[in-house]
Structure 1
Amino acid sequence: MSTESWLADTRTSYDTVATSYADQVRDLLDETPYERSVLALFAELVQATDGGPVADVGCGPGRITAHLRSLGLDAFGIDLSPAMVETARREHPGLRFEVGSMTDLDLADASVAGLVAWYSLIHVPDDEVGPVFGHFRRVVRPGGLLLLGFHVGDESRLKTRGYGGHAMKVHVHRRQPAQVSAWLDDAGFTVEAQMTLSSAESPLGGIVFARRRTGSQ
């Protein structure tokens, strides 16, 4: 499947379900104390290195962006779906949300102190993950922090319906933390911590903290 094809399917799917998705996940962090702790640790680590802008890539309706702002970070959101961005702007007025793709981030080199991709890599095919991580490395400043959340497993499946029963056409990819860590290492990140957990976010979720290396790699 070409990049243009899966991106178009993903954009259309999330444009279709934007309102229903926002309703379903709006209060999810209230049910996930371990994830709240992960996000709080991320905020603490970014602030410990003098802070700076933080990009929430694949932000959806903006709930993680807004939570990071409540933790004191200068967070902004980027999402492929214009309807998701519109929803985020409506639900979190005053915060910055932009339409964009993690396959071609419209951000300056080394312009963010941290980057979060919270269950937003799940539709990216395996052969596209490396280039996406290359974009993450380009925009994160040397020594900057990356936080990933993803579904753990070994299979991919086509999702044709979800979030209010609306039609969708997206592949959901589940991956092992070791594979994600290997891709990050190849892209110039050093993995500092990884864990798995089960919660309302995912039956089995993977969490990885990684830091951009300061040299050429």
Structure 2
Amino acid sequence: MTDDRVLNAYSARAAEYASVLGSIEDTHELDRIRIERWAKQISGPVLDAGCGPGHWTDFLHKRGVNISGVDLVPEFIESARSRFPEASFRVSSVRALDLADGSVGGVLAWYSLIHLAPSELPQVLVEFRRVLRPRGHLLVGFFEGGANELLDHAITKAYCWSVHWTSELLQDAGFEVLDIETRQDHGSRPHAAVAAIARNA
């Protein structure tokens, strides 16, 4: 199962990952602008789904966003709580969030779904739709490429997605796609982000 593979792989290297990629200074400036602008339009709680070492949760918390971070990996949550004690973190799988239906205004899934097998992604998007309020906001960041294309990842097996395929999955899960962003930085894999809102039930 993907959860077991990801949990084992990241648990073994959580400290290394946090030291290399666990600071907001390690992120792209355009991503910081994008995510902050996205969060400003949200009313109600925000969930950082697959928060990793917690830097995006802390980034938005410091900007006044009512946000909590969840991650499958206990070592990430322990590190996040230690490094960012004023923010809220807990262990949870994105497959089954311990939240009531329609209880959040926004879900951020920034490169946190790339390890899911393509067949598993629709289930997770439906779970995001479940916890979001009608017209609640979702922002998904991922590596852009051929649909369901495997990529060489340092931690464990991961996938590229095409923006067209991702948009279709979001629509099937009950979302309306608002905008799509793609970017190719020198020396980096192609980046994509899709913003969507939950359609009224």
- TM interval, short-chain normalised: over 0.9
The letter of the residue matching 1:151 is F
Aligned length: 199
Give the secondary-structure state (helix, strand or coil) at the position aligned to 1:84: helix
Determine the structure 2 residue equivalent to 1:26.
Answer: 22
In 2: Cα distance, 1:93 partner to 1:200 partner: 35
- C-alpha change, 1:44 and 1:201, in structure 2 (3 Å) is farther
**Residue 202 of structure 1: CA displacement?**
5.0
Q: Match for residue 192 of structure 2?
A: 206
The one-letter code matched in structure 2 to 1:73 is V
Encode CA deviations 1:99-156: one digit per residue, 9 max, x unaligned: 1111111111001010000000100111111110000000010010001100111221
TM normalised by structure 2 equals 0.93
* Equivalent-residue separation in structure 1 for 2:187 and 2:120 (angstroms): 24
Deviations 1:63-100 (A, max 9, x none): 00011112221010000001111111111012111111
**Structure 1 stretch 25-34 or stretch 142-151: which is displaced more?**
25-34
Whole-Å Cα distance in 1 between the matches of residues 45 and 188 of structure 2? 28
Amino acid at match of 2:190: L
Which residue type is aligned with residue 14 of structure 2?
A
**For residues 48-67 of structure 1, what are the structure 2 equivalents within 5 Å?**
51-67=43-59
Does the aligned pair in 2 maintain the 1:43–1:72 contact within 8 Å?
Answer: no
The percentage of counterpart residues that share the same residue type is 36
Instruction: Give ranges in structure 2 of 5+ residues lacking alignment.
Output: none
TM-score, structure 1 normalization: 0.87
Post-superposition shift, 1:27? 3.4
- Secondary structure of 2:157 counterpart: strand
Are 2:100 and 1:108 aligned? yes
- Superposition deviation, residue 158 in structure 1: 6.1
Residue pairs, 1:1-217, within 5 angstroms: 5-29=1-25, 32-46=28-42, 51-154=43-146, 155-157=149-151, 159=153, 162=154, 168=155, 170-199=156-185, 203-215=189-201
Larger RCO of the pair (alpha carbons < 8 Å, separation 6+): 1
CA shift for structure 1 position 41 = 1.3
Q: Contact 2:134/2:200 (CA < 8 Å) preserved in 1?
A: yes
Cα RMSD between the aligned structures?
1.8
Distance 1:14 1:30 in 2: 18
CA offset at residue 31 of structure 1? Answer: 5.2
Structure 1: tracts of 5 or more residues without a match: 163-167
Asked if the contact 1:113/1:144 (under 8 Å) is kept, the reply is yes
C-alpha distance in structure 1 between counterparts of 2:124 and 2:27, whole Å = 30
